[in-house]
Chains A and B, each alone.
Chain A
Amino acid sequence: MENEPALYSCPGHRRRARARTRCLLAVIAATSACGAPASDRHPESAPTAVRIVDDFGDTLRLAQPAAHVVSLNPVTTEAIFALGAGARLVGRSRWDSSPDAARQVPDLGDGLQPNIEAVLAARPDLVVLYAAAANRAAAAAFRRAGVQTLALRTDRVADLARVLHALGLALGDTTAAASVADSVQRSLDAVRAMPRRTRPVSVFWHAWDAPVITIGAGSYLDELVVAAGARNVFGDMAQPSPQVTLESVVQRNPDYVLAGPRAARRLRADARWQAVPAVRAGRILVVDTSLVGRPGVRMGEAARALRLLIDSAAGVRP
């Protein structure tokens, strides 16, 4: 698990971070080199071969920018639209619903263990997959059929920069990629830069209650909570979604409980949860789960929404 001191606003640091991620990808573009500043590939220049090593360790070679892309991951679908290349999408997964324009893109089924034939029928020249073990076989199948695949991990905040860069290279528009990455970073940093509270706020993130499941430090949601200036009461647990006892929630006494709308109603009605002081006092904050679900280009927006939600409850004016 990458443990960069999360990217607090600091220009020099930003440049070093981006250069570092580029080195990690081992890209051999015509004129790039480790340490060189911002992207210097012009989309209009003569197309040169792009070589990218993805998160499966496979090497992707594109003679020219991908023109027909299937994206089977809500994060990458949203990112492709953010890069202005939404028109090149010929297929998406059934879970990709953002932005609204994405709904017009043909739904090709699941993102995990996708329907190979349906994807191939859309005649893509590039398939973007979520880099889960379950998709290795699919990646191999696509390659055998002569279609390039780009498998990307989209689990944590730090992944997004790498994802955007890889997509930028594949789509032949690293300028846009850098600019989007930059703006996401700035929006995140802006949230982080908001004044610290005099008294830190602790939250419990409710994922499920039969049994009780919350989020731990291994989850992107925990990073979001930290970015919003609060503390996850279970942030000391390494797993992304640990099952915990209700009593330990009581013991850790979070200031607020974050839950989806239906869960919030359920908690208020459940006698056992009244033992948690935050629930008894009605300090349940309803979270828009569609926004905060995953580390996409709207991360900054998600962090900001979370921060404002907590602020308005805690009575602090932004």
Chain B
Amino acid sequence: MIRVSQAVVRYPGASINALDGATFEALPGRLTAVVGPNGSGKSTAVRALIGQVALTGGSMRVGDTDVATADRRQLARTMSVVTQREEPAFPLSVRDYVMLGRYPHHGAWSALGPADAAAAEGAMQRTGALPLGDRRTDALSGGEWQRVRLARALAQGGEVLILDEPGTFLDMAHEMAAFELLDELAREGRTILLVSHQLNLVARFAAHIVVLHHGRVVAAGAPNDVMRGDVLEPVYEWPLVIARDPAVGAPFLVPLRRR
């Protein structure tokens, strides 16, 4: 599980805090989504979890490990991250790329072995990337690349999975397929933390939604509790209406025109 408490992050040279005392939790077995407008601190939270930016206050824990003092390689064995954009500078075969996910399990001199190959194969199978095994990473479509990246994250083998805008560049079919997979993975006991702009999809799949605004958590709870006009309108600063979809009854958000 992930526990963020009173996290404060200020980028060097900035006048305000990017994260300003944020507190939230992502529990195992369910999909937790972090939402909020641009600049609310969502990506900062992810970067702080992977150690790319230091916490100026508060703490973040993954399981029992404090992120600030953790050995990063060890942390990578329990936590995988799929960032928003990723473009390898030099093309690899998909199989080699997925195998990179096994590196946290090895020291500098130990080589990848059959156990790693099996883990990679299994991950590729899960995400439907197996037929892409011999293709090159620079020759994949957006949807294929996403599946491959997810496979790499799964191959890392941890119980925590963090995804930053996984639906970017995906069409409806691929996006739905991705969310369904995440839902499955969550049900198997993993902790899944999702940062997303797609409020409606999040409302369908996430069990717990955390709303960030100016670096603070302004609402957290089940979709029905969070997806409300009085909660979201001041956050997004745009007139909107919450309705229920006719198919499954999940709350969905309709932004209204101003002009």
A–B proximity contact (CB within 8 A): no
